[in-house]
Chain A
Amino acid sequence: MKVRLGLGSCGIAAGGLQVLEALQKEMESRGLKLEIQKSGCIGLCHHEPLLDWIEDDGQVFTYGAVNAGRSVEILEAHLAGRGPLEAYLVSSSDEPAEFLQQQLRIVLKNCGRIDPESIDDYRRQDGYSALQKALAGMSPEEVIKEIEVSALRGRGGAGFPTGLKWKATREAAGFYRYIICNADEGDPGAFMDRSILEGDPHAVLEGMIIAAYAIGAEQGIIYCRAEYPLAVKRLEIAIAQDRENGLLGRRILGSDFSFDISIQQGAGAFVCGEETALIASLEGERGMPRLKPPYPSESGLWGYPSSINNVETLANVPWIIRNGGEAFAALGSRESKGTKVFALAGKIKRGGLVEVPMGTTLREIIYGIGGGVKAGRRIKAVQMGGPSGGCIPAELLDIPVDYQSLNNTGAIMGSGGMVVLDESSCMVDLARFFLDFTQKESCGKCVQCRIGTKRMLEILERICRGAGREGDIELLEELSAHISENSLCGLGQSAPNPVLTTIRYFRDEYEAHIREKRCPAKQCQELLKYTIDPDRCMGCGLCVYACPADCIKGGENNQPYYIEQENCSKCGACLDICPERFAAVRVPGT
């Protein structure tokens, strides 16, 4: 018997450490010696914090929304032979949660199941057998061939074939080579790479060592976001364990191959996800992209050939070497092979980490796995690819998830952020939100990106404020064309995507803002005016307590309340709290 706790960043944020503390205390007071295994994120984020009870025969019972008190209850029930405790049970080995049932996990295979700080745990799951296989029986060219056969494409967003990249780096002239792992996951709304690094760091390291062997690199660097302290810590532990076990350092596993890995923390710049900007940042400069070619595979870090691969890409590599490229290519659709991990979030019932074969439809992911939107709501669109991506409307949910189909909609595969939107999300506001992001993150090198995004943001802001003009939509489209054509890197080239896709599919919302000064989704605060209907107000005063701006006055002698408009922050708290049977708070014009 043992207990397993999900202690990724999300589990900790939800209160996982308090559960750990309570369990340790309880066991101490009972004089019980039970192993508590700390694991990464299994992906059932909507049920965090998670606790697994594992029987000696391997049966697993997963409990959700556990707190200190519940964890003790669960412990008691199992110890007394009364378990499993159905009330909190969300998944078990006999009856896996619907959320997990429809997934195919290659990259996330170990996440949430093993202790990420234990190399032995990883080894028990065939860990490092792929490296052994590659070093003992395959030439570097054969490794590259295998990756080419698998048709693995970069999972960071651009989707460049990994085998080609490795081949180019191997064949480039230069007596020193680098392999760089891009763990600068900057897309707002995406947390796949963080979960992989926190849940299964050895898989990424194994993939990286194999990649280094294939391209002939002696030095590897993981460029990780500083906002992911837990991922950095677990990587450091894993690297130290690899060194102790002869998996990093000189003459790895008795072969002629020597290689080592260091970690460099990013300092918070979205543009550093772009290869050449990332290299500039590694060299201690401002992270500004440069013209390509030469590509990093010819002239990268310090001018040496470098291969830059995303976390998820590298985590796929051990599986491909173990099972063969053809087995990988058998998964997925005709054009896009293998699986893809998505971070499902937003207005979804069951959010979390999802890994599905390429070619699965959006509908299957959102409804089948995610359970659709929250009760009483209707799905309006799904945002994919973050600030570089776009919004796919509900009518197109039956398209398969592969690189080409997604590009056809105007969105992109991106790194895997999938944010579901319902009718309460304003599409103009969402476009403004992303432009606000790209405008701040533009490095400033290209005029079109630096000033163009600023101008687009200003137009979107005035539309949201109710000051939009006829011709604004056309102006946005014109600016978009200039920015994407004349920017050097992906950030600028793709910055207009959120605007273009929302105009393409939700032009009526733009028009409602511009012509009728109306926000159909009731999101644009300046277009809203909250009032209290004096005929309906019963003077209960709930809204007075809810109002954070203290601007609801009146109410003496059971008189109705009213809102002082000049101080109203338009937070909507009064609307939310006003009892349905009164429904006295009104938002005219929507």
Chain B
Amino acid sequence: MHFCSKNKRPEEKSMLDAQLDLSPVLKIIEEKRHEKGSLIAILQQAQEIYGYLPLSVLKCIARELGIKPAKVYGIATFYTQFRLQPTGKYQIMLCQGTACHVNGSERIESTICQELKIKRGETTPDGLFSLESAACLGCCSLAPVMMINGQAYGPLSAEKAVAIIRKIKAAESLSLVGGEAQ
């Protein structure tokens, strides 16, 4: 299902990707070239550098390792960890574990979607928030839980979740106003 949703317009992205600096990924490939089965590790490190996996990086990896781009793309889309789109400044990970589900995580998701006007897997047009779900964050006793940039919040209610997001929004718009004043 997630196979197609992640990368909607590859041609549009590749225009932007053309200006990317590929030297860090070349360095990783050089280090790992002789290790058997290192493709996933290379992709993981590349994502750490760029925050996502731009198409040009995938093509570069394929070219350098001498494998088909389709294979690299196939692996990048198989595993949920890999993203083909940049994420927002604030990455919201909503836990979808069983404990969170029975404690109402779906209501929280629909409320957040309504608040940010995006769906799961999308980023707000201002690039501030992206919403993703995690199979289980492993903090089941705090259910329902969400994580924003590594910081866990729980137990949540729909209002609490919205309040947290609005607080971040307010802080962001303040810093924006402050920046303009200078």
Chain A residues with CB under 8 Å of chain B are: 9-10, 12-14, 45-46, 48, 186-191, 194, 226-228, 264-270, 281-287, 302, 343, 345-347, 351-352, 383, 386, 417, 419, 421, 425, 430, 433-434, 437, 439-440, 443, 525, 546, 548-549, 569-573, 576
Q: Which of B102, B103, B107, B159 neighbours the largest number of chain A CB atoms within 10 Å of its CB?
A: B102
Instruction: Tell whether, in the assembled complex, residue A264 and residue B41 are in contact, meaning their CB atoms are under 8 Å apart.
Output: yes
Q: Please measure, in the bound complex, the distance between the C-alpha atom of A480 and the C-alpha atom of B99, giving whole angstroms.
A: 25
Instruction: Tell whether, in the assembled complex, residue A191 and residue B159 are in contact, meaning their CB atoms are under 8 Å apart.
Output: no
Cβ-based interface call for B14 (8 A): no
- A–B complex contacts, Cβ < 8 Å, 12 sampled: A10-B141, A13-B152, A48-B142, A189-B136, A226-B44, A284-B38, A346-B103, A347-B103, A351-B141, A419-B140, A434-B98, A573-B157
Q: Please measure, in the bound complex, the distance between the C-alpha atom of A46 and the C-alpha atom of B142, giving whole angstroms.
A: 8
- CB neighbours of A227 from chain B (8 A): 134-138
Instruction: Tell whether, in the assembled complex, residue A569 and residue B114 are in contact, meaning their CB atoms are under 8 Å apart.
Output: yes
List the B residue with the shortest CB-CB distance to A280: B37
Q: Which of B43, B101, B138, B159 neighbours the largest number of chain A CB atoms within 10 Å of its CB?
A: B138
Q: Which of A14, A226, A345, A421 neighbours the largest number of chain B CB atoms within 10 Å of its CB?
A: A345
- CB neighbours of B159 from chain A (8 A): 546, 548, 573
Closest 8 CB pairs of A and B: A189-B98, A45-B141, A13-B152, A267-B79, A284-B37, A345-B140, A345-B99, A188-B97
- CB neighbours of A419 from chain B (8 A): 98-99, 102, 140
Instruction: Tell whether, in the assembled complex, residue A386 and residue B140 are in contact, meaning their CB atoms are under 8 Å apart.
Output: no
Q: Please measure, in the bound complex, the distance between the C-alpha atom of A173 and the C-alpha atom of B73, giving whole angstroms.
A: 36
| Given A14-B142, A188-B97, 13 further pairs, Cβ under 8 A | A10-B139, A13-B152, A191-B136, A191-B140, A268-B135, A269-B78, A347-B102, A347-B103, A421-B102, A425-B102, A437-B135, A569-B110, A571-B111
Instruction: Tell whether, in the assembled complex, residue A267 and residue B43 are in contact, meaning their CB atoms are under 8 Å apart.
Output: yes
Cβ-based interface call for B171 (8 A): no
Q: Nearest Cβ distance between residue A87 and chain B, in whole angstroms?
A: 21
Partner of A194, one of B2, B99, B138: B138
- CB neighbours of B140 from chain A (8 A): 45, 189, 191, 343, 345-346, 351, 419
List the B residue with the shortest CB-CB distance to A352: B141
Q: Please measure, in the bound complex, the distance between the C-alpha atom of A331 and the C-alpha atom of B159, giving whole angstroms.
A: 48
Instruction: Tell whether, in the assembled complex, residue A269 and residue B145 are in contact, meaning their CB atoms are under 8 Å apart.
Output: no
Instruction: Tell whether, in the assembled complex, residue A286 and residue B107 are in contact, meaning their CB atoms are under 8 Å apart.
Output: no
Q: Please measure, in the bound complex, the distance between the C-alpha atom of A345 and the C-alpha atom of B101, giving whole angstroms.
A: 11
Scoring B residues 28 to 46 as 1 if CB is less than 8 Å from chain A, else 0, what string do you get?
A: 0000000011111101100
Q: A269-B80, A347-B102 are in contact. Are A549 and B138 (CB under 8 A)?
A: no
Instruction: Tell whether, in the assembled complex, residue B79 and residue A190 are in contact, meaning their CB atoms are under 8 Å apart.
Output: no
Instruction: Tell whether, in the assembled complex, residue B80 and residue A268 are in contact, meaning their CB atoms are under 8 Å apart.
Output: yes
Instruction: Tell whether, in the assembled complex, residue B142 and residue A571 are in contact, meaning their CB atoms are under 8 Å apart.
Output: no
List the B residue with the shortest CB-CB distance to A264: B41
List the B residue with the shortest CB-CB distance to A9: B138
Cβ-based interface call for B75 (8 A): yes
- CB neighbours of B101 from chain A (8 A): 188, 430, 433
List the B residue with the shortest CB-CB distance to A269: B79
Q: Nearest Cβ distance between residue A514 and chain B, in whole angstroms?
A: 21
Cβ-based interface call for B96 (8 A): yes
- CB neighbours of A10 from chain B (8 A): 138-139, 141-142
- CB neighbours of A282 from chain B (8 A): 37
Q: Which of B156-172 contact A (CB under 8 A)?
A: 157-159, 162
Instruction: Tell whether, in the assembled complex, residue B98 and residue A345 are in contact, meaning their CB atoms are under 8 Å apart.
Output: yes
List the B residue with the shortest CB-CB distance to A567: B114
* Total A-B contacts with CB atoms under 8 angstroms apart: 158
Q: A189-B98, A345-B143, A419-B98 are in contact. Are A228 and B37 (CB under 8 A)?
A: no
Instruction: Tell whether, in the assembled complex, residue B134 and residue A439 are in contact, meaning their CB atoms are under 8 Å apart.
Output: no
Q: Please measure, in the bound complex, the distance between the C-alpha atom of A171 and the C-alpha atom of B103, giving whole angstroms.
A: 49
Instruction: Tell whether, in the assembled complex, residue A267 and residue B143 are in contact, meaning their CB atoms are under 8 Å apart.
Output: no
Q: Please measure, in the bound complex, the distance between the C-alpha atom of A571 and the C-alpha atom of B107, giving whole angstroms.
A: 5
Cβ-based interface call for B175 (8 A): no
Q: Which of B64-88 contact A (CB under 8 A)?
A: 74-75, 78-82
Cβ-based interface call for B176 (8 A): no
- CB neighbours of A417 from chain B (8 A): 98
Instruction: Tell whether, in the assembled complex, residue A226 and residue B141 are in contact, meaning their CB atoms are under 8 Å apart.
Output: no
Q: A267-B81, A439-B1 are in contact. Are A346 and B98 (CB under 8 A)?
A: yes
Partner of B99, one of A48, A189, A265: A189
Q: Which of B2, B44, B158 neighbours the largest number of chain A CB atoms within 10 Å of its CB?
A: B158
Instruction: Tell whether, in the assembled complex, residue A571 and residue B110 are in contact, meaning their CB atoms are under 8 Å apart.
Output: yes
Q: A45-B140, A270-B135, A573-B158 are in contact. Are A548 and B102 (CB under 8 A)?
A: no
Cβ-based interface call for B115 (8 A): yes
Instruction: Tell whether, in the assembled complex, residue B2 and residue A13 are in contact, meaning their CB atoms are under 8 Å apart.
Output: no
Q: Nearest Cβ distance between residue B138 and chain A, in whole angstroms?
A: 4
Q: Please measure, in the bound complex, the distance between the C-alpha atom of A281 and the C-alpha atom of B111, giving whole angstroms.
A: 36
Scoring B residues 7 to 41 as 1 if CB is less than 8 Å from chain A, else 0, what string do you get?
A: 00000000000000000000000000000111111
Q: Which of B110-145 contact A (CB under 8 A)?
A: 110-111, 114-115, 134-143, 145
Cβ-based interface call for B154 (8 A): yes
- CB neighbours of A287 from chain B (8 A): 78-79
Q: Please measure, in the bound complex, the distance between the C-alpha atom of A191 and the C-alpha atom of B100, giving whole angstroms.
A: 13
- CB neighbours of A346 from chain B (8 A): 98-99, 102-103, 140, 143
- CB neighbours of A434 from chain B (8 A): 98
List the A residue with the shortest CB-CB distance to B143: A345
List the A residue with the shortest CB-CB distance to B3: A444
List the B residue with the shortest CB-CB distance to A417: B98
Instruction: Tell whether, in the assembled complex, residue A191 and residue B138 are in contact, meaning their CB atoms are under 8 Å apart.
Output: yes
Q: Please measure, in the bound complex, the distance between the C-alpha atom of A443 and the C-alpha atom of B2, giving whole angstroms.
A: 11
Instruction: Tell whether, in the assembled complex, residue B145 and residue A13 are in contact, meaning their CB atoms are under 8 Å apart.
Output: yes
Q: Nearest Cβ distance between residue B81 and chain A, in whole angstroms?
A: 4
Instruction: Tell whether, in the assembled complex, residue B141 and residue A188 are in contact, meaning their CB atoms are under 8 Å apart.
Output: no
- CB neighbours of B114 from chain A (8 A): 548-549, 569
Q: Please measure, in the bound complex, the distance between the C-alpha atom of A52 and the C-alpha atom of B34, giving whole angstroms.
A: 48
List the A residue with the shortest CB-CB distance to B107: A571
Q: Please measure, in the bound complex, the distance between the C-alpha atom of A431 and the C-alpha atom of B82, giving whole angstroms.
A: 28
Instruction: Tell whether, in the assembled complex, residue A268 and residue B81 are in contact, meaning their CB atoms are under 8 Å apart.
Output: yes
Partner of A284, one of B39, B82, B135, B142: B39
Q: Which of A226, A419, A439 neighbours the largest number of chain B CB atoms within 10 Å of its CB?
A: A419
Instruction: Tell whether, in the assembled complex, residue A46 and residue B107 are in contact, meaning their CB atoms are under 8 Å apart.
Output: no
Q: A267-B43, A281-B40 are in contact. Are A13 and B139 (CB under 8 A)?
A: yes
Q: Please measure, in the bound complex, the distance between the C-alpha atom of A550 and the C-alpha atom of B75, giving whole angstroms.
A: 43
Instruction: Tell whether, in the assembled complex, residue B158 and residue A548 are in contact, meaning their CB atoms are under 8 Å apart.
Output: yes
Instruction: Tell whether, in the assembled complex, residue A386 and residue B162 are in contact, meaning their CB atoms are under 8 Å apart.
Output: no
Q: Nearest Cβ distance between residue A488 and chain B, in whole angstroms?
A: 17
List the A residue with the shortest CB-CB distance to B151: A13
